[in-house]
């Protein structure tokens, strides 16, 4: 961003791709973390006199306007955080967006409606995506610039993330630059012992990162909904717990190859239904009763996982250990998170990745300064650690069009 600011942005249209995909309860934002993290880049551009056009997505609407996914609450919150007026366009690249972008004066901020209301954003057809990218360019004019700052979405090859960078001089925003720098420390020669904590519900999303990290780390502990597929892979009945049956063979193979590194819970908290007020009890992981479902890891597992974290010098955590949104099933996530805070206070470099884990940190009242870095990227941080090409970042390496 420094380069762009140095080149001068006063009076110039700048398109910023941010990740403002925040959790909502109705129209209430339950965790504004991504908005807060996105604000500095937008503020810096507005203060330098740019006409700032911000584009972002919210959720996964089906390629057409849907009031449930409107960015209206996000625009209001962004305005609060910035202490500036943020206009919201009534469409993505339609008449309202065009008229408003033409009316911008230096330092104004315009947020476009949810970019995924336009089906071309996520199209597999490159020509479609490029057409949308051209429409976006029109909003900032030919002398405009593009700032990629939506770290949480850089793993998506989408029009506003990837294709638009081919059409405008492009720059990494402050958030993208900071995230890449921090995550880079995890991949290039991390200090040992290196412990990774993985949770969350979908084992299929995590297998690639387990495969990539297991040979490189000292400890990899697995909790959350995904641990039941690992238990099932050992022939343990898991009752009504979450299970991705088609993944059991891969989990078994991972346990066989990396058994000395991968650790799964030995006790779990089970419930008779998926509800905040469900009946709950702690049982050995090998004795999940028929008809019950595991919703958290048990206290013995928390204690053992905490032991692995004690003395770690590098820690990466992605995914909650249980259904922390329900108080009865929050102890596992809280206990493991507290162990990471302890490790951090004893000098470990710790990174929290993933919207759910970052939200857990805030909702469970854990100190944000108890972690070295809270990443705004979920899938993006995992793919970064897997060493995958991230379209939203590699697009910035390409030679920029003439400024």
Smallest separation, CB 92 to ligand 3PG (Å): 16
Q: Does 391 bind ligand 3PG (CB under 6 A)?
A: no
Instruction: Dump strand ranges (E) for 188-274.
Output: 194-198, 219-222, 262-263, 267-271
Helix, strand, coil percent values for the chain (each to nearest 5) = 45, 15, 40
**Six-digit token string for 36:** 């807060």
Of residues 9, 13, 16, 19, which one binds ligand 3PG by CB under 6 A? 19
Q: Quick one: 19 or 163, whose CB is closer to ligand 3PG?
A: 19
DSSP secondary structure letters along 351-399: EEESHHHHHHHHHTT--GGGSSEE-S-SHHHHHHHHT---HHHHHHHSP
CA distances from 398 to 48, 78, 169, 170, 203 (A): 26, 31, 10, 9, 34
Residue of 87, 140, 81 whose CA lies nearest to 113: 87
Residue of 93, 155, 108, 54 whose CA lies nearest to 390: 155
Is 83 catalytic? The answer is no
Smallest separation, CB 339 to ligand 3PG (Å): 25
| Catalytic hit among 84, 134, 185, 202 | 202
Is 200 catalytic? The answer is no
Could you give the string, one character per residue 281-320, with x where binding to ligand 3PG holds by CB under 6 A and - elsewhere? Answer: ----------------------------------------
Q: Quick one: 13 or 392, whose CB is closer to ligand 3PG?
A: 392
Q: Which residues contact 325 (CB under 8 A, 6 or more apart)?
A: 276, 363
Smallest separation, CB 377 to ligand 3PG (Å): 7
Residue of 176, 177, 131, 167 whose CA lies nearest to 403: 167
Smallest separation, CB 211 to ligand 3PG (Å): 20
Q: Does 21 bind ligand 3PG (CB under 6 A)?
A: yes
Residue of 387, 401, 374 whose CA lies nearest to 33: 374
Could you give the string, one character per residue 151-190, with x where binding to ligand 3PG holds by CB under 6 A and - elsewhere? Answer: -xx--x----------------------------------
Q: Does 200 bind ligand 3PG (CB under 6 A)?
A: no
What number of chain residues touch ligand 3PG (CB under 6 A)? 9
CA distances from 155 to 3, 7, 180, 315 (A): 24, 28, 13, 22
Find the binding residues for ligand 3PG in span 366-385 (CB under 6 A).
378-379
Q: Which stretch binds ligand 3PG (CB under 6 A): 64-72, 148-156, 246-254, 317-325?
A: 148-156
Is residue 34 marked as binding?
yes
| Catalytic hit among 150, 152, 332, 355 | 355
Q: Does 61 bind ligand 3PG (CB under 6 A)?
A: no
Residues 332 and 323: their CA atoms lie apart, in Å, by: 9
Contact between 152 and 380 (Cβ < 8 Å): yes
Q: Quick one: 13 or 152, whose CB is closer to ligand 3PG?
A: 152
Residues 305 and 31: their CA atoms lie apart, in Å, by: 27
| Closest residue to ligand 3PG: CB criterion | 21
Q: At 282, which helix (H) or strand (E)?
A: strand 280-284
Smallest separation, CB 228 to ligand 3PG (Å): 23
Instruction: Dump strand ranges (E) for 8-95.
Output: 13-17, 24-25, 28-29, 51-55, 86-88
Is residue 59 marked as binding?
yes
Is 34 catalytic? The answer is yes
Of residues 60, 62, 192, 345, which one binds ligand 3PG by CB under 6 A? 60
| Catalytic hit among 12, 13, 17, 34 | 34
Residues 29 and 366: their CA atoms lie apart, in Å, by: 19
Is 225 catalytic? The answer is no
Q: Which residues contact 181 (CB under 8 A, 6 or more apart)?
A: none
Q: Does 355 bind ligand 3PG (CB under 6 A)?
A: yes
Is residue 57 marked as binding?
yes
Q: Which residues are catalytic?
A: 34, 202, 355, 379
Binding-site entries for substrate = 19-21, 34, 57-60, 116, 156
Binding-site entries for ATP = 206, 294, 325, 354-357
Binding-site entries = 19-21, 34, 57-60, 116, 156, 206, 294, 325, 354-357
Q: Which residue ranges make up the site for ligand 3PG (CB under 6 A)?
A: 19, 21, 60, 152-153, 156, 355, 378-379
């Amino acid at each position: 961003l420094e380069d762009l600011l140095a080149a001068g942005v006063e009076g110039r249209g700048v398109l910023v791709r941010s990740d403002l995909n925040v959790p909502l309860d109705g129209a209430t934002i339950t965790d504004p973390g991504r908005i807060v993290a996105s604000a500095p880049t937008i503020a810096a551009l507005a203060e330098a006199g740019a006409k700032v056009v911000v584009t972002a997505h919210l959720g996964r609407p089906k390629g057409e306007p849907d009031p449930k996914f409107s960015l209206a609450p996000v625009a209001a919150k962004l305005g609060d955080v910035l202490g500036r007026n943020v206009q919201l366009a009534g469409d993505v690249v339609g008449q309202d967006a065009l008229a408003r972008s033409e009316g911008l004066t230096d330092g104004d901020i315009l947020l476009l409606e949810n970019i995924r209301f336009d089906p071309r954003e996520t199209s597999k057809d490159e020509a479609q995506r490029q057409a949308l990218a051209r429409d976006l360019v029109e909003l900032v004019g030919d002398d405009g610039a593009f700032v990629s700052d939506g770290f949480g979405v850089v793993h998506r090859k989408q029009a506003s993330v990837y294709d638009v960078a081919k059409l405008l001089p492009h720059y990494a925003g402050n958030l993208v630059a900071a995230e890449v720098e921090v995550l880079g420390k995890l991949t290039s020669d991390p200090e040992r012992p290196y412990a990774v904590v993985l949770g969350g519900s979908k084992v299929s999303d995590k297998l690639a990162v387990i495969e990539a990290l297991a040979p490189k780390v000292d400890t990899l502990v697995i909790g959350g909904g995904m641990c039941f597929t690992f238990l099932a892979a050992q022939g343990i009945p898991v009752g009504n717990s979450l299970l991705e049956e088609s993944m059991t063979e891969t989990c078994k193979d991972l346990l066989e190859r990396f058994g000395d590194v991968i650790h799964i819970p030995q006790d779990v908290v089970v419930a008779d239904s998926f509800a905040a007020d469900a009946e709950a009890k702690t049982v050995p992981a090998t004795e999940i009763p028929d008809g019950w479902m595991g919703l958290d890891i048990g206290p013995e597992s928390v204690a053992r996982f905490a032991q692995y974290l004690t003395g770690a010098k590098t820690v990466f955590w992605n995914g909650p250990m249980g259904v922390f949104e329900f108080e009865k099933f929050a102890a596992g996530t809280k206990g493991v998170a507290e162990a990471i805070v302890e490790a951090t206070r004893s000098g470990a470099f710790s990174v929290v990745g993933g919207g759910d884990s970052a939200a857990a940190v805030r909702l469970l009242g854990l100190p944000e300064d108890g972690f070295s870095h809270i990443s705004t990227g979920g899938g993006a941080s995992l793919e970064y650690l897997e060493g995958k090409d991230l379209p939203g970042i590699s697009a910035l390496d390409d030679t920029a069009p003439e400024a």
